[in-house]
Amino acid sequence: MKLVTAGESHGKALIGIIEGLPSNLEIDIEEINRNLALRQSGYGRGGRQKIESDKVEILSGVRNRLTLGSPLSFSILNADYENWKEYMAPEGCDVTQKQVTCVRPGHADLTGMIKYDQTDARNVLERASARETAARVAAGSIAMQYLKALGVHISGYVKSVCGISDENEYVFEQLEGAKDKPLFMLDGNKEREAMQKIDELKELGDTAGGVIEIRIKGLKSGFGSCMQYGDKLDAILCGAVMSVQAIKGVEVGLGFKAAELAGSQVHDRIYYDGAFRRKTNNAGGIEGGMSNGEEIILRAAMKPIPTLMRGLETVDFITKKPATASKERSDVAAICAAEIVLESAVAFALADVVSKRLGGDNMSEVKERYNLLK
């Protein structure tokens, strides 16, 4: 299963093409749109979300709600394009306006300008923008529908914001309730504390990051491989997590905490009660690069948004003189959006792994092969 996306932040639209979907997968477009709306939600978001109201339009590969087995293509129109048409139109526009030369620390601006031989960071930041993740959420929502058809479910929540952390443990069924919370945090007291912190940072023109936990339930053992390094499931899923803008760290199961403990406190003891099981899940559902049948647990560290409304010290790319970084419309915190994007990125990466093992040209074949696995 393969995804290609295209489109700029203030361009006409975001486009996605998915290859490798089997036929007869029922597509719920409203479910895709619900996830797109969740991506635009969350406490601490900026003005862009008031302009856009993302909706997906499927262009090919689906008829009467069922996939055909051909490439599925879709678009998400950028409503803000009408305000940017005179600066962004591919047919011709005024590129002297909306130029960005005071490169922003923490963004792709400077490195991208050098790499792609540009004198205007606009030609880099438009694609590097997290706006691109709307297409990944649409594709990930389709991947989640593929996985759900097999009984595999993905969910998550915000574990911490700017150091304010929820240390409680939750069963998988509790996680979906986070989507009804303003900051996707399950501990109400911690959430209120984190919201107050976001308000304080907004007054200072500053930004916040945090930690997100993503969980996968229902995946049978044996997905991924110990035979080739590139086929290890944790490498694939962690790579998908790290491909999301602003993610700077990822861990599986105990993660970095495992480095502080003795082996007897880390490794999950195995027992048999008609099936092989583990007494704990410190491994986070992956051993030797393969799913072991337990819940998969991933955590991602999101850095603070690098566009600060107060601006950071930088250099003007043209004059080479000290300057204050350019300010695009920005959020104070986009941790809720990141949670939805991470669910989607993980879902698509996992769907690819599952489809490679199961094969199948239609969903009946896929389900039959999955049900035969132990």
| Burial zone of 105 (CB within 10 Å; 0-12 exposed, 13-18 middle, 19+ buried) | middle
**pLDDT single digits (tens) 161-171:** 999 999 999 99
How many Å apart are CA 108 and CA 290, to the nearest integer? 34
DSSP state of 255: G
**Residue 4 φ then ψ, to 5°:** -125, 130
Predicted confidence band at 329 (pLDDT cuts at 50, 70, 90)? low
Q: What is the pLDDT of residue 327?
A: 73
Provide the pLDDT confidence category of residue 311 given band limits of 50, 70 and 90.
Answer: confident
C-alpha torsion 77→34→29→346, nearest 10: 90
Q: pLDDT tens digits, residue range 271-301?
A: 999 889 999 999 999 999 999 999 999 999 9
Tens digit of each residue's pLDDT (9 = 90 or more) over 21-66:
999 999 999 999 999 999 999 998 865 555 668 999 999 999 999 9
pLDDT per residue as tens digits for the range 209-249: 999 999 999 999 999 999 999 999 999 999 999 999 999 99
What does the DSSP 8-state code read for residue 220? Answer: P
pLDDT digits 0-9 by tens, 5-18: 999 999 999 999 99
Check if the beta carbon of residue 328 is closer than 8 Å to that of residue 125.
Answer: yes
Residue 31, helix vs strand vs coil: helix
Please give the pLDDT value at position 47: 58
Is the pLDDT at 117 greater than 90? The verdict is yes
pLDDT for position 178: 96
* Confidence band, pLDDT 50/70/90 cuts, at residue 146: very high
Residue position matching structure tokens 């502080």: 260
| pLDDT given for residue 326 in this prediction | 77
Report phi then psi at 305, rounded to 5.
Answer: -55, 130
Average pLDDT over residues 93-121: 95
Q: What is the pLDDT of residue 52?
A: 64
Residue count of the chain:
374
Q: What single DSSP character describes residue 183?
A: T
pLDDT band at 306 (very low <50, low <70, confident <90, very high): confident
For residue 180, pLDDT over 90 is answered with: yes
Q: E-assigned strands of the chain?
A: 2-6, 13-19, 56-60, 62-63, 66-67, 72-77, 153-161, 164-165, 210-217, 247-252, 270-272, 276-278, 286-287, 290-291, 296-302, 313-315, 322-324
The pLDDT of 101-117, averaged and rounded, is 96
pLDDT at 50: 57
Alpha-carbon span 88 to 8, nearest angstrom = 9
Mean pLDDT of the chain: 95
What percent of the chain lies above the pLDDT cut of 70?
A: 98
pLDDT single digits (tens) 69-78:
999 999 999 9
Residue 342 and residue 210 in contact, taking contact as beta carbons nearer than 8 Å: no
3-state helix, strand and coil shares in percent for the chain, rounded to the nearest 5: 35, 20, 40
Residue 346: what residue type?
Answer: V
Q: At what angle do helices 335-358 and 29-39 cross, to 10 degrees?
A: 140
